[in-house]
Amino acid sequence: MKPYTSRVSEKKRLSVNDLQALKNRGEKISCLTAYDASFSTVLDKAGIEVILVGDSLGMVFQGHATTLPVTMDDMIYHTACVSRGCNRALVVADLPFMSYTSLLAAAENAARLIQGGGANMIKLEGARPDVVGFLVGNGVPVCGHLGLLPQFINCLGGYKVQGRELPDAERIISDAVSLEKAGAGLLILECVPASLAQTISQQLSIPVIGIGAGIDCDGQVLVLYDILNIGSGRRPKFSKDFMEGATSIEEAIHNYHIAVKEARFPTIEHSY
C-alpha cells in the first residue's frame, strides 16, 4: 500500500460532504475524542478529520462509572472548549442521556450544542429515525450510533458485544438503514462483529465509523485517553496503546491517524 498523503484542504473546516467524499473514493476517516482546547489543537494539527466530544467524558474526564451523569451543561462546556481549539476537524458532540426524549427537547438541546458549543454535528444513540428526521429537517446534521449504546447500559446489563445473534444483527442492519433514510449523515457502530460492520458499511451510502467494529468500516474512532494509555481503567480490547514506541503525545496521535488512513488499524486482535 502506498503511504498516505492528504487530499483534503488544510485551510477550511471539514463538512459532512467532505467525509462523504472520503467514503466515495475509499479513503478511511480518522476520528478521536477530545474534551478540551489543548488536545483539540493537537488532534487538528495531526490531521484527525473528526473530533468527537463524547459523553465518554463522564468516565475518562469526570471519573464516573458510566456516561449517565453527564449533563447538557457539561457537554456544552466541553464542546465549546474543543471548538475553540481546532480550525479544520469536524466537531461532533453527543446529546447526553435523556436529552432527546421528545422532538422538541432534541431540537432545543441540539441548538444549544451548536449555538453555545460550536458543534458542527450532533450525535445520538439508538434507533431514533423520528428525532433524526426532525433535526435534519431543521438544519442540524446528525450522526447516529448503533451497537453497544452506553446510555442504555442499565438495560443492556453491561458493556458487551452486540449483534452476535442473527436476530440482533438483522435489527441493527434495519436500524442503520432507517437512520440513513431519515437523513443521518454519519453512523458510529460500537462493539459489533467485524462481519456485521462490513455488511452495514457496504449497504449504507453514508460513512460508517467503527469502534470495536473491525477494519472494513469507512473510518475509526477511539477514546483519546485510551490510545495515550492514561485511562483510569482497563483499556478496551478494541483499543491500542499508541504511546508505545512514540516519543511524544503528538507522535502517538500522528501514528494513530496514519494507521487508520493506511488501513493498518484495527487488526484482528482489536476486533470481534
For residue 122, give the C-alpha cell: 450532533
CA nearest neighbour of 175 among 124, 235, 103: 124
Quote the CA–CA distance of 79 and 51 in Å, as a whole number.
10
Identify residue 24 by its one-letter amino acid code: N
Cis peptide before 266 (omega within 30 of 0): yes
Judge residue 79's burial from the number of C-beta atoms within 10 Å of its C-beta, 0-12 exposed, 13-18 middle, 19 or more buried. buried
Q: What is the DSSP letter of 129?
A: H
**Are the CB atoms for 194 and 208 separated by under 8 Å?**
no
CA nearest neighbour of 209 among 35, 6, 52, 97: 52
Rg of the chain on CA atoms, in Å: 17
Asked if 190 is an active-site residue, the reply is yes
Identify residue 250 by its one-letter amino acid code: E
90-94 vs 121-123, strand pairing mode: parallel
208-211 vs 121-123, strand pairing mode: unpaired
Please pick, among 10, 170, 190, 250, the residue that the annotation labels catalytic. 190
Q: Which residues participate in catalysis according to the annotation? A: 190
